[in-house]
Structure 1
Amino acid sequence: MADFIVKSAVKNRLDDQNVAADFYEALDEEVAELLEDATQRAEDNDRKTVQARDL
C-alpha cells in the first residue's frame, strides 16, 4: 500500500494530541478510499481530470 500521508505533518496538525500508531494506517486507508471515489466520480462524468468537486 502506498503512503498517502506524512506522519510528521499529521502529528504537527494535531498539536498536543497523542497519536496511536494504528491511526496512521487507518488514515491512509481513508485517504486511499477518498481518492478512489473521486477518481470514479471524474470517470463517471467523462473526465480524466479529478477536481475538487469530486471529493
Structure 2
Amino acid sequence: MADLVVKAAVKEELSDMNVSADFYEALDEEVGELLEDAARRAEQNDRKTVQQRDL
C-alpha cells in the first residue's frame, strides 16, 4: 500500500513533539482502515462518491 499520510504535514502539525518512525506506519494503517470503511459505507448506500458523512 502506498503511504497515505504526508510525513512533513504530520511533523508540522505535531511541531512541539518528536514523532517516532513507527508512528507513521501505524497512522497509515489507521487512515487506510478509515478509507476502507468510508468506501464500504458509500457502496452500501448505492453511491460511488465517498462523502463526509461516510466517515
Superposition TM-score, scaled by structure 2 size: 0.97
Structure 1 portions without partners, runs of 5+: none
Structure 2 portions without partners, runs of 5+: none
Task: For residues 1-55 of structure 1, give each alpha carbon's deviation from its aligned partner in whole angstroms, at most 9, with x where no partner exists.
Answer: 1111000100000011000100000000000000000000000000010000000
Q: 1:4 and 1:35 mapped to 2: Cα distance? A: 10
Alignment of 1:1-55 (within 5 A): 1-55=1-55
Letter in structure 2 aligned against 1:13:
E
Count, aligned residues: 55
Q: 2:25 and 2:38 mapped to 1: Cα distance? A: 20
